[in-house]
Amino acid sequence: MTDAEDALIWLTDEEGGETAFRPVGRFACEGTEYAILEDAEDEGSVMVFRVEEDEEGEVLVPEEDGDLCEKIFYLFEADQDDYEIGPAQ
């Protein structure tokens, strides 16, 4: 396995389908921690997940509030000196 493959996070949806993501970073906003992940099959497709805890440990829950996702993307990007969300221009 390559280092890139080792870095993949596999998430299972409600129907049992699995999708591979690459971690981009974590960001806290208003007391909640978010994980920003890039779809491994669709470069440039980035999603925001809330980091929650359950009895088994960390759980990543997709953030469905579009306005909040935009805010998290904006704040995360502003916090990064050399990372841009989306494809390079």
Tokens of 70: 């935009």
- Given this model, what pLDDT does residue 5 score? 52
Instruction: Examine residue 89 and state whether it is found in any structural domain, yes or no.
Output: no
- Segments forming the whole domain that contains residue 45: 3-79
Instruction: Examine residue 88 and state whether it is found in any structural domain, yes or no.
Output: no
Q: Cα–Cα distance between 5 and 76 in angstroms, integer?
A: 24
What's the whole-number mean pLDDT along residues 33-55? 91
**Listed residue (17, 53, 47, 20) closest to 35, CA to CA:** 47
Instruction: Examine residue 58 and state whether it is found in any structural domain, yes or no.
Output: yes
Residue 4: pLDDT band by 50, 70, 90 thresholds? low
Instruction: Examine residue 85 and state whether it is found in any structural domain, yes or no.
Output: no
Residue 32: pLDDT band by 50, 70, 90 thresholds? very high
b/e map 61-72, b = 16+ CB within 10 Å: eebeeeebbeeb
- Given this model, what pLDDT does residue 23 score? 92
How many domains does one find in the chain?
A: 1
Higher pLDDT pick, 88 / 45: 45
Instruction: Examine residue 72 and state whether it is found in any structural domain, yes or no.
Output: yes
